[in-house]
Amino acid sequence: MIAKIFSSCVIGVEAHEVTVETDTGGGLPGINIVGLPDAAVKESRDRIKSAIKNSDFSFPARKITINLAPADIKKEGSSFDLPIALSILASEGAIDSSSLGDFVFCGELSLDGKLKSIRGSLPIAMALKSFGRKKFILPRANSKEAAVVDNIEVYPLDTLKDVVDFLNGRIKIAPQKYSVEITRHHTKYKVDFNDVKGQEHVKRGLEVAAAGGHNVLLIGPPGSGKSMLAKRLPTILSEMTLQESLETSKIQSVAGLLPSNKGLIVTRPFRSPHHTISDAALVGGGSNPIPGEISLAHNGVLFLDELPEFKRNVLEVMRQPLEEGVITISRVANRLTYPSKFMLVAAMNPCPCGYFTDPKRGCHCSPFQIQTYLSKISGPLLDRIDIHLEVPRLKLENLTDKRRGESSGEIRNRVDKARDIQKARYKDGNLYFNAHLESKELERYCILDKESEELLKLAILELGISARAYDKILKVSRTIADLDGKEVIESHHISEAISYRSLDRNLWG
């Protein structure tokens, strides 16, 4: 007898339907799985046999052939344990197969028949409608993330025996529902900008970066607060939309990082990889490609501390995703594309010893050592960083000051207003932030008054502002004008934008 059970596998961040076909017949007892299974799927034979026996079902002592169709898609992971076990039981008549066509099954089995969590249940749930199915049976640990999808029925179960009893009508279970309402100021953070003493110029620069989606480089001596400031940047970013939340949660689900007690990620991710990270770990990859740090930071912040300490080839692989917002990984088996729209925030010392710009401590580095240290960051990568902020050492009066500065909520209110202006301005195009403006769009949206035009010309001639920095200054000044509620860019907006190009003016030049 041939039995069919419907399941799914995830390739990249997209789910594909898989039909599990089982045939039991004559021959030596054993299980043969075909259809491009990986090692984890092949190993499921022993898990499934023990799970069926320990769930008080008889395991057929016949030759069992299992086909995972379509056969040209590689099947990975342990999520096929449950559908394979059910197909074996269905082929033996232990399950009422009349209603199986409406269900999609995914789940890993332990030896005692319990269902264990899997990766990628959210993208599978989102693709259920395209499969022509509307019911999803999966482990309870993954039920919340799948239940956020509308117009499908999610049934969380704990054991293989419970699944069989449910399909045979012996027990009744109501489909789980889990709704997440994403509204402004919904998310809570443990850190706040009012924890930071002093550094008003840097806080303002980060506010501008948050409002326009600009990448930021923080430069300063050790202990000046670069990491502390960067970790608080997500607290002033605008709240995630439902679409952004779904995109981010899909990636976290595929990577197996979505907490079992949460349906969706509603706070913007903050990723801070160590400087010893490899290029494959940063952009994603491996023999079976998984999302890297830049994809896990999608719709959030990627913080690279001690930027010059990262390997040159690791930094260079970010150039294309910074420009396009996606990363494509090509391997022999397949070619995958992961989203990677993130804000890059990097921090670095001005020299190897760290005290080149510190007025209190002398620098012991030679000019050649400083230049070698700074040249570890290539010009093309620096070209993709809009704002350079110098973070000086705090003075004694700042450290002992008991007053608290502006809270993240107050700063975020201004950021939200600026982003609302950008949404209205770019509603007819594919733009979202000022940082994404191209050259032809700069002429249309970055309108300067006469005084600001003269100031920009003077900056190029007198301060040595490079041609590549010209577009960056216009984009940042557009964001500053939006924060100011002005449609035309004025001279003080240009002046502030120029002050955020410290590497062009001092160290790099």
In a domain, 162, yes or no: yes
State the Cα–Cα distance between residues 175 and 173, nearest whole angstrom: 6
- pLDDT at position 508 is 44
In a domain, 429, yes or no: no
Domain identity same for 411 and 442: no
- pLDDT at position 85 is 95
For residues 300-314, give the mean pLDDT: 93
Read off the CATH number of the domain in which 130 is found: 3.30.230.10
In a domain, 174, yes or no: no
Read off the CATH number of the domain in which 307 is found: 3.40.50.300
State the Cα–Cα distance between residues 12 and 80, nearest whole angstrom: 17
State the Cα–Cα distance between residues 63 and 108, nearest whole angstrom: 23
Q: Per the structure block, which two tokens stand in for 25?
A: 């017949």
| Contact criterion met (CB below 8 Å) for 121 and 145 | yes
State the Cα–Cα distance between residues 205 and 215, nearest whole angstrom: 11
- The pLDDT tens digits of the residues spanning 459-480 come to 877 776 766 678 889 999 999 9
Q: Which residues, 6+ apart, have CB-to-CB distance to 277 below 8 Å?
A: 293, 310, 314
Domain identity same for 163 and 298: no
- The pLDDT tens digits of the residues spanning 120-159 come to 999 999 999 899 899 999 999 999 889 988 889 999 999 9
| Contact criterion met (CB below 8 Å) for 349 and 369 | no
In a domain, 456, yes or no: yes
- The pLDDT tens digits of the residues spanning 174-200 come to 998 876 655 444 567 888 898 888 888
- The pLDDT tens digits of the residues spanning 323-382 come to 888 898 877 667 888 999 999 999 999 889 888 877 778 888 888 898 888 888 888 888
Domain identity same for 42 and 93: yes
Domain identity same for 357 and 212: yes
In this structure, what are the phi and psi dihedrals at residue 481, rounded to the nearest 5 degrees?
A: -65, -35
In a domain, 145, yes or no: yes
State the Cα–Cα distance between residues 89 and 490, nearest whole angstrom: 74
In a domain, 239, yes or no: yes
Q: Per the structure block, which two tokens stand in for 63?
A: 């030759």
For residues 395-415, give the mean pLDDT: 82
Domain identity same for 83 and 125: yes
Average predicted confidence (pLDDT) for the chain? 87
Domain identity same for 406 and 441: no
How many angstroms from the chain centroid is the CA of residue 91? 42
Domain identity same for 90 and 238: no
Domain identity same for 410 and 480: no
Domain identity same for 460 and 497: yes
Q: How many domains does the chain have?
A: 3
Domain identity same for 303 and 403: yes
Domain identity same for 159 and 230: no
Query: Could you tell me the residue range of the domain that residue 269 belongs to?
Result: 193-419
Domain identity same for 411 and 457: no
Q: Which residues on adjacent β-strands are paired with residue 156?
A: 138
Read off the CATH number of the domain in which 472 is found: 1.10.8
DSSP letter string, 76-115: -SSTTHHHHHHHHHHHTT-S-GGGGGGEEE--EE-TTSBE
In a domain, 182, yes or no: no
Q: Per the structure block, which two tokens stand in for 115?
A: 């269902």
Candidates 327, 339, 347, 215; CA nearest to 280 is 327
| Contact criterion met (CB below 8 Å) for 449 and 489 | yes
